[in-house]
Structure 1
Amino acid sequence: MSFEENKMLIMPAVDIRNGKCVQLVQGKPGSEQVVIDNPEKVALSWQEQGAKTVHIIDLDGTIDGKTSLPTIKKIVNELSVPVQLGGGIRSLEYAKELLDLDIDRVIIGTMGIKHPEVIHELSEEYGSDRIMISLDSKDSKVVIKGWQEKIDKTPEELSNEFKEHGAGSILFTNVDVEGLLNGFYTEPVLNLVNSTDLPVVYSGGVTSTEDLAKLNKTGVKGVVIGSALYKNKINLKDALKYEEVVE
């Protein structure tokens, strides 16, 4: 699954916690704003409404280190559109297990930043299109370990390092605005897009179709939308109208 030159994919998020679909505020346990049973049915509903990719985050893996593999398998079995998945991928073996399950793209965060040779090995075996590096930012610095630990590098500084290691794309989450439903900041997105020729998918604070209109002028190749969909701030069919990227 590769990104198209002139498309900005709209990616509904399905975040898994304790077997349910949830939405947290800035990733903090106990801040659930949405709790829905049967995440696989939620994912299927996004596909039925026209989503061409579904974005899955395993919060159990991120927060507790205990992966939600049975739920992930149910989602993959329900969907015919591509799935990209992140959260709790902390070993090379688990990443390979997910890729062998026909997860189209895995999102590697902490493990890739601490052990970039893993990115190289996975891209060599499975192809770079299937390997996405997660560069999550708080106060303009990259954060890891479920956004709990900050390192002294910016997303821009790391972006091209990971191209050399074989990553095929970047997921950029601005933690400063994530889950708050107050919109996003354009400057950090542009800074990253302009610093790399890897495709960038943006996540964090997307609240309205006006936000999507702004994002499709930045050059991002995808946008993850979570809380705004679940709280009816954005209708998916309206969002899909913004999949054409403005040159």
Structure 2
Amino acid sequence: MSFKKDEMLIMPAVDIKNGKCVQLVQGQPGSEMIAIENPENVAKHWEDLGAENLHIIDLDGTIDGKTSLDVIKKILKEVSVPIQLGGGIRSIDYAKRLLDLDIERLIIGTMGIEHPETITKLSDEYGSERIMISLDSKDNRVVIKGWQEKIDKSPAELSNEFKEHGAGSILFTNVDVEGLLGGFYTEPVIELKNSVDLPIVYSGGITSISDVKQLNESGVEGIVIGSALYKDKIDLKEALKYQNR
């Protein structure tokens, strides 16, 4: 699942909470717009429709600190495509445990931002291409701890620091538009893309095929689509036509 300059990976999101596949509005607990049993079957469904990569987030780990390792293992058993995984990764030991399960790429958020040396350690041991730093943005400031705490730096300001620490790619989520199904803001994406020489996967507010086309033109190396797929606002097979530039 390496990134290529002439390709934009399109990744359906499978967010796990209480053993179900959910989509939250702006990450707020209790705001589920969908809740589907057996996330492993949901993951398989997207693979069957042609997804070549999947984006899995353990919301139990992010929100409550209780990991959904059993569900993650079921997904890994059910699908054959590479997955990138994040949520609730609060220790080096747990990160290694996940990487040893054959997770293609691990998304590190709060732990990496508060303790950048963890990114270096994991990158040195497993390779930078398997370590992604998550830069979530609200009002153009990075937020951590389930989007509850704000840092006085923009994603662009932090991005090069994490390249130096060994991150191989960046997941950029714009919380301002996440889950609202109202489109995305182009400017923050372009600003980050121009600030760092690392592959960027964008997430947040992708609502239409027009959004997918616009992101393809922006040069990002990947996008995550969540609510729009589950609400039938985007047809995955149509979106996949934009994987190539």
Q: CA RMSD in A?
A: 0.5
Shift of 1:98: 0.2
Structure 1 residues 19-50: Cα deviation after superposition (integer angstroms, max 9, x where no partner): 00000000000000000000000000101111
What does 1:43-62 align with in structure 2 at a 5 Å threshold?
A: 43-62=43-62
Structure 1 residues 196-239: Cα deviation after superposition (integer angstroms, max 9, x where no partner): 11000000000000001110111100000000000000010001
What does 1:80-95 align with in structure 2 at a 5 Å threshold?
A: 80-95=80-95
Structure 1 residues 166-209: Cα deviation after superposition (integer angstroms, max 9, x where no partner): 00000000000000000000000000000011000000000000
Shift of 1:5: 1.9
Residue 63 of structure 1 corresponds to which residue in structure 2?
A: 63
Distance 1:72 1:186 in 2: 32
Residue type at the aligned position of 1:132: M
Structure 1 residues 55-99: Cα deviation after superposition (integer angstroms, max 9, x where no partner): 000000000000000000000111111010000001000000000
Structure 1 residues 131-172: Cα deviation after superposition (integer angstroms, max 9, x where no partner): 000000000000000000000000001101001000000000
Residues 1:100 and 2:114 aligned together: no
Q: Secondary structure at the match of 2:173?
A: strand
What TM-score, normalized by structure 1, do the two folds share?
0.99
Distance 2:116 2:39 in 1: 31
Distance 2:2 2:238 in 1: 24
Distance 2:199 2:6 in 1: 11
Q: Secondary structure at the match of 1:172?
A: strand
Q: Which runs of 5+ in 2 are unaligned?
A: none
Q: Which runs of 5+ in 1 are unaligned?
A: none
Distance 1:44 1:168 in 2: 27
Residue type at the aligned position of 1:214: Q
What TM-score, normalized by structure 2, do the two folds share?
0.99
Residue 137 of structure 2 corresponds to which residue in structure 1?
A: 137
Q: Secondary structure at the match of 1:232?
A: coil
Distance 2:148 2:244 in 1: 35
Residue 77 of structure 2 corresponds to which residue in structure 1?
A: 77
Q: Percent same amino acid among aligned pairs?
A: 75
Residue type at the aligned position of 1:40: E
Residues 1:200 and 2:200 aligned together: yes
Residue 235 of structure 1 corresponds to which residue in structure 2?
A: 235
Distance 1:124 1:81 in 2: 25
Residue type at the aligned position of 1:32: E
